[in-house]
Amino acid sequence: MVAGGGDPVDVLIVGGGHAGAQCAIALRQNGYAGSVAIVGREHEPPYERPPLSKEYFAREKSFERLYIRPPQFWEEKDIALLLGCEVVKVDPAAKQVVLSDGTMMTYGTLVWAAGGDPRRLPCAGSDLAGVHAVRTRADCDQLMGETDGGVKRVTVIGGGYIGLEAAAVLTKMGVAVTLLEAASRVLARVAGPDLSAFYEAEHRAHGVDLRTGVAVERLIGIPGGRVTGVALQDGTVVAADAVIVGIGIVPAVAPLIAAGAAGANGIDVDAFCRTSLPDVYAVGDCASFACDFADGAVMRVESVQNANDQATCVAKALCGEARPYRALPWFWSNQYDLKLQTAGISVGYDQTVLRGDPAARSFSVIYLKTGRVIALDCVNAVKDYVQGRKLVEAQACPDPGCLANDRLPLKGLA
């Protein structure tokens, strides 16, 4: 066991999400024999987050089915779980951290996998009861308790994937949903206009009151009590029994930045996920790196794939198999009966090709940069996704006319 101030932990992992869990799992898989501990802010052993806004919320899966590994796994693999606490201070010279309960721990290697916190609305009323994020089990349980308790009108603020998935689930449950997006289209940060238009139409067809280009002025409610509505800057008021805020995350990196780690929007890491501090790595949502699949642009990639693959990369390095991180980014989102699969990073595209027919609810958007395929968004088009990711990996420059012709398999176009 890990005791405060006692023996150093060989690998101390900060964060019990996908990245932290996978780092520990991969260490043991690769034969790592040293001591391993995970410090996790939540009280549950590591669990999968994507189903929170999908199957868990819809009550298709119980929480026990979301565990990344069964609870006894961690003990069997001699991985200490220090739950319900977080690292508040790092001393990289002494290789020590201080936990929120005052415990001091010494590490050999520190892996920062703390992810991020939901970005809060920067306006009045954001602290009213009934205003929720969707990132943790606790967030979801609260919201589910409220829908059980009679909440009938929910306003979702933010038209990114979390907001859209929440809107889809709530609508299916019979809740009246209004979705407010500040930009002129949903998914503006991550996808092109074709995909945005398609999802906007789908949500409206399912009854979501979806409004784009609207700015929230403040949340209205009983002071010290519950939210009752959202006031927009154009003077409109949207009545709401509850509000979901899905406007991105703020990387949880303050203690590491305070300790001198380079970074601003996340912790800067090199091709091996090393931070600027000795024996300190950062992985997952909070790691900022030069992405090979975005022409070396420095970015954070918020996805399970990136969390898992970066964590594995670090675990292998700690087992003597250091290789630069180079994994094709991929992502998925399920809304209604729509399966979206994304490969690559579309940032910086200068041309899009539409393949298939959005009206038939099966199509792909292919993103090109100077003729090269850099990314695909595939909706109910698994074959395109599987074959298209090979085009991204191969940096292929196929004829756009051929890409658009869905009778020609993408396979032949590499």
Partner 1 sequence: MVSVTIIDRAGREETVEAAPGLSVMETIRQAGFDELEAMCGGSCSCATCHVYAQGEGLVPLSADEDDLLDSSDHRRADSRLSCQIRLSAALEGLRVTIAPED
- Shortest spacing between CB 18 and partner 1, in angstroms: 9
- Shortest spacing between CB 90 and partner 1, in angstroms: 29
- Shortest spacing between CB 27 and partner 1, in angstroms: 11
Cβ proximity to partner 1, 156 vs 340, nearer residue: 340
- Shortest spacing between CB 328 and partner 1, in angstroms: 11
Cβ proximity to partner 1, 27 vs 187, nearer residue: 27
Cβ proximity to partner 1, 30 vs 142, nearer residue: 30
Cβ proximity to partner 1, 272 vs 332, nearer residue: 332
CB 119 within 8 A of CB 21: no
CB 175 within 8 A of CB 152: yes
Cβ proximity to partner 1, 334 vs 346, nearer residue: 334
- Shortest spacing between CB 228 and partner 1, in angstroms: 36
Amino acid (one-letter) located at 99: L
Structure tokens at 32: 């790592």
- Shortest spacing between CB 37 and partner 1, in angstroms: 18
Cβ proximity to partner 1, 130 vs 388, nearer residue: 388
**DSSP code per residue over 9-21:** EEEEEE--SHHHH
Distance CA 343, CA 386 (A): 9
Binding residues for partner 1, per CB under 8 A? Answer: 25, 28-29, 48, 50-51, 54-55, 65-67, 69-70, 72-73, 76-77, 304-305, 308, 330, 332, 334, 339, 341, 382-383, 385-387, 389
Q: Which of 170, 174, 209 is nearest to 57 (CA)?
A: 170
Cβ proximity to partner 1, 31 vs 174, nearer residue: 31
* DSSP reduced 3-state for 271: coil
CB 263 within 8 A of CB 257: yes
Q: Which of 173, 192, 176 is nearest to 184 (CA)?
A: 192
Amino acid (one-letter) located at 247: I
* DSSP reduced 3-state for 132: strand
Rg (CA), the chain: 22
- Shortest spacing between CB 163 and partner 1, in angstroms: 19
Count of Cβ atoms closer than 10 Å to residue 383 Cβ: 14
CA distances from residue 160 to 71, 153, 247, 312, 408 in whole angstroms, order as listed: 32, 20, 7, 28, 32
Structure tokens at 96: 């020590």
